Structure 1
Amino acid sequence: MIDFRYHLVSLISVFLALAVGVVLGAGPLQNSLGTALNDQVTALRADRNAIQARLEATETAVNERDSYIEAAAAAYLPGTLEGRDVVLAVLPGTEGKDLDALSANIKTAGGRVVGRVSLTSAWVDSSRETFRSTYAGQFVGYLSNATSADGNRVLGQGLGKALTASDSNAITLMDLLTASDTPLVTVDAKPSGPASMVAVVGPRGAGASGSAGATPTSGQDPSAWAGVFTGLAQEATTVVVGSADSGTDLVATLRSAGASVTTIDSVGQATAAVSTPLALAATAAGTTGAYGFDSGAESVMPPVKK
């Protein structure tokens, strides 16, 4: 049985320990702890300053590189797309300034942007896969070479013909694409005439600076784009500009699926904007390529017309 003396000894031990702690904290340990903390703060501040300096140097280098690319583009883009009409097909999450940069370079190359349409998320909505497969059957009669059993590919062919032809079949196909409350396509700027080329522009990656990116939701299947743009490229000269930062990004998805369509990664950078007219010209001449810096790229930039 624990008696009063045991409690007394325990209390005395506790107070002695506290007293020793107070004495040491106010004496010999005070200076060493304070010095250690000051040293750590100084080191962290130095690391922060070094990182900030490297970041500023990197931003300066990127800006200088982009300025060089844009200056060089003014020398070798003119004439690349002379007399060519281009329509922009825009994916959800695409930034307006990226469209502006691409349009400016197409104009520098001698081409014209004659219209713009937006592709809705209905193309990749998993819950509408059966609908797309069934709906594609209505497109077949208006296409001269719809032989694929892939509904997404047939719909992509329909999109290509609707944008690059002016006959009654093309008009009907556009009506089908824009029909219903949840259409596959909405028209942002009605094409002034049939285009000869299609530039598909997608969002930046989720990790891109200044962009939230466009990460697919659980109800979306980004791999559906592979069939869509394979069909589009079968019907029209097509280049897809987007991101390949992660496996679910647009260009990464197309490359991993082996889609037969020209791709450019690093959308939002000067290189992608300048490469687009060159890639359109190369694709029209029969060369399908994968350009940029990320996984799956075959070359940094398309061939330059001499």
Structure 2
Amino acid sequence: MIDFRYHLVSLISVFLALAVGVVLGAGPLQNSLGTALNDQVTSLRADRNDLQTRLEQTEAAVNDRDAYITAAAESLLPGALKDQRVAVAVLPDAESGDIDAVVTEIETAGATVTGRVNLTSAWAETSRESFRSTYSGQFTPYLDTAATDGNGILGQGLAVALTTEGDSATALMELLTASETPLVTVDAQPSGTATMIVVVGPRTVATAGGSEPTAAATPEQDLTAWTSALTGLASAATTVVVGSADAQADVVAALRTAEAPVTTVDSVGQATAAVSAPLALAATASGTLGNYGFDAGADAVMPPVSH
């Protein structure tokens, strides 16, 4: 049994320890602790300033690079798409500024943009897979040769609707835009048939906490559905997909992983992607498929310049 003397000795020990701590803190250790803390603060401040300087230098270098690329495009692009007519198809969550940048360079290359359509999330929602498979049966009568899967057939239908004229094209566009949850909404009504199609996708969005980035996308999306649909689109018309390939959830990354016969350009949002888009369209039209940019799966930084 613990007696009173034990409690007394314990209390005396505690007070002695506190007293020793106070004496040391106010005396011998005071200067060394203060000096150490000041040294750490000074070091951290220097590291912060160094990082800030390097960040500013990097931003300046990126701006200079983009300015150079944009200036070089004025020599590389004119005539690359002479007499071509390009339809723009926009994937969900693509940024308007990125779309405008691609359109600007396509027009610099000499092409006419016929119109702009938006592809809704209904193309890839897992809950609508059965619907797409069944609905694609209404597309096949208007296609010369139909793909083997429903998503691919829908992609072919979009290509025919944008690049041909007549009753079949009209019927296909009506099917694509029908219902309260359509596959396609029309942003800028096509002014006529296109000879080629550029698809613009979203940038990659970094997740909180610095984990691997993921592509901006509607929840419960089947990435293979996008892959099949865009492969079907490219099988029926000259097509280039511009997007991101930083993460596995990016559409461009998925196309490359699947080794789909679709020309891709990564790094959407950068000047390089906008300038490469018309060059990639020209190369694809001449029979050369490729993957261009800086990310995994790229065959070359930029498409060939043949004009």
TM-score category, normalised to shorter length: over 0.9
Q: How far, CA to CA, are the matches of 1:28 and 1:270 in structure 2?
A: 61
Q: Cα deviations across residues 60-114 of structure 1 (Å, max 9, x unaligned)?
A: 1111111111111101110111111111000111111111111111111110111
Residues 1:196 and 1:246: Cα distance change in structure 2 (over 3 Å)? same
How far is 1:158 from its partner? Answer: 0.2
Counting only pairs closer than 5 Å after superposition, residues 130-169 of structure 1 correspond to structure 2 as 130-146=130-146, 148-169=147-168
* Equivalent residues of 2:177, 2:183 under 8 A apart: yes
Q: Cα deviations across residues 38-66 of structure 1 (Å, max 9, x unaligned)?
A: 11111111111111111111111111111
Q: How far, CA to CA, are the matches of 1:107 and 1:136 in structure 2?
A: 34
Structure 2 residue aligned with 1:92:
92
Counting only pairs closer than 5 Å after superposition, residues 117-132 of structure 1 correspond to structure 2 as 117-132=117-132
**What amino acid is the match of 2:141?**
G
* Equivalent residues of 2:177, 2:184 under 8 A apart: yes
- Classify the secondary structure of the residue corresponding to 1:136: helix
**Count of residue correspondences:** 302
How far is 1:6 from its partner? Answer: 2.2
Q: How far, CA to CA, are the matches of 1:58 and 1:247 in structure 2?
A: 26
Gaps of 5+ in 2: 208-212
Structure 1 residue aligned with 2:264:
263
Counting only pairs closer than 5 Å after superposition, residues 160-179 of structure 1 correspond to structure 2 as 160-179=159-178
How far is 1:4 from its partner? Answer: 2.2
* Equivalent residues of 2:85, 2:112 under 8 A apart: yes
- Classify the secondary structure of the residue corresponding to 2:57: helix
* Equivalent residues of 1:207, 1:245 under 8 A apart: no
Q: How far, CA to CA, are the matches of 1:217 and 1:203 in structure 2?
A: 12
* Equivalent residues of 2:292, 2:298 under 8 A apart: yes
Structure 1 residue aligned with 2:281:
280
* Equivalent residues of 2:202, 2:216 under 8 A apart: no
* Equivalent residues of 1:161, 1:235 under 8 A apart: yes
Structure 1 residue aligned with 2:210:
none
Structure 2 residue aligned with 1:52:
52
Q: How far, CA to CA, are the matches of 2:216 and 2:97 in structure 1?
A: 19
Counting only pairs closer than 5 Å after superposition, residues 78-117 of structure 1 correspond to structure 2 as 78-117=78-117
* Equivalent residues of 1:241, 1:276 under 8 A apart: yes
* Equivalent residues of 1:242, 1:251 under 8 A apart: yes
* Equivalent residues of 1:203, 1:213 under 8 A apart: no
**What amino acid is the match of 1:293?**
F
* Equivalent residues of 1:275, 1:302 under 8 A apart: yes
- Classify the secondary structure of the residue corresponding to 1:57: helix
**What amino acid is the match of 2:271?**
A
How far is 1:234 from its partner? Answer: 1.1
Structure 2 residue aligned with 1:251:
252
**What amino acid is the match of 1:88?**
V
* Equivalent residues of 2:98, 2:269 under 8 A apart: yes
Gaps of 5+ in 1: none
Structure 2 residue aligned with 1:70:
70
- Classify the secondary structure of the residue corresponding to 1:302: coil
Q: How far, CA to CA, are the matches of 1:267 and 1:64 in structure 2?
A: 18
How far is 1:259 from its partner? Answer: 1.1
Query: In percent, how many aligned pairs have the same letter?
Result: 68
How far is 1:218 from its partner? Answer: 4.6
